[in-house]
Structure 1
């Protein structure tokens, strides 16, 4: 399950992806449109700014703007930035691997084998789905 912070980060980025490229959006607009508490959104946007996803502008036409095209921002990279590794078990993490304390042998662990398939499928979707894709997907029937 993703954190509320990650969900808000993705919703903020999708909001910015909806506007004309290079157009800045005030934090209050994003907060109202996406029902994200403004103070929490400020922290999230600061983290996204440090990571190079957004920039802030001051002044009359101030606000936040995407630094990358929506086609170049993958869901997976945003989730990893906010929540860390995409792995339901520590023994499946690429960047934070840790042997499970109660595991005798990873090679024969039935639970690990099932969740490895889930993890690989999840990563494949998240690492190939962009903000632009998410905007197109909302128009498709479920």
Structure 2
């Protein structure tokens, strides 16, 4: 499950993607209002995104925030890692912050790790292949009708 902060970050990035399509920048207040995100919380999120090279800010009357790269070059995985850190259900499965599980005797024999390894790989595959541009399209590339079944 992703945090509320990550959800807000994704919503803010999608709002900036729509703004880019219109050739506009958005102020913090505009994003906060449009996406129903608390302004103070959004300021921190945008600062994190800026520090990690995903957005830039412009000062002045026509200032605001905009994407630093094209929407087809920014993935959901990149945004989530910026806000949440590693995308792994277990510390022993993290690519960027690997840590052996304290209670593990032998990783190669761990049944739990084997199952969650498949979960982690599938999750990364979707998040790292889905761009902001994909996110605003009505049909996300690579999905099937089974994905939408309840």
TM-score of the superposed pair, with normalisation by structure 1 = 0.93
SS at match of 2:137: helix
Q: In structure 2, what is the Cα distance between the partners aligned to 1:101 and 1:67?
A: 40
- Structure 2 residues without counterparts, runs of 5 or longer: none
Q: Is the 8 A contact 2:20 2:66 kept in 1?
A: no
1:116 aligned residue: 117
* Alpha-carbon displacement from aligned partner over 1:68-97 (angstroms, at most 9, x marks no partner): 111000011111111111100011011111
1:33 aligned residue: 34
How far the C-alpha of 1:25 sits from its partner, in A, is 0.6
* Alpha-carbon displacement from aligned partner over 1:120-139 (angstroms, at most 9, x marks no partner): 00000000000000101469
1:42 aligned residue: 43
Taking a change above 3 Å as real, the CA distance of residues 108 and 100 of structure 1, as seen in their structure-2 partners, is same
Report how many residues are paired: 142
Q: In structure 2, what is the Cα distance between the partners aligned to 1:40 and 1:134?
A: 23
Q: In structure 2, what is the Cα distance between the partners aligned to 1:99 and 1:44?
A: 30
SS at match of 2:60: coil
Runs of 4+ in 1 over 6 A off after TM superposition: 138-141
2:12 aligned residue: 12
TM-score of the superposed pair, with normalisation by structure 2 = 0.88
- Structure 1 residues without counterparts, runs of 5 or longer: none
Q: In structure 1, what is the Cα distance between the partners aligned to 2:20 and 2:107?
A: 49
Q: In structure 1, what is the Cα distance between the partners aligned to 2:112 and 2:118?
A: 10
Q: Is the 8 A contact 2:20 2:67 kept in 1?
A: no
Q: In structure 1, what is the Cα distance between the partners aligned to 2:50 and 2:20?
A: 19
2:137 aligned residue: 136
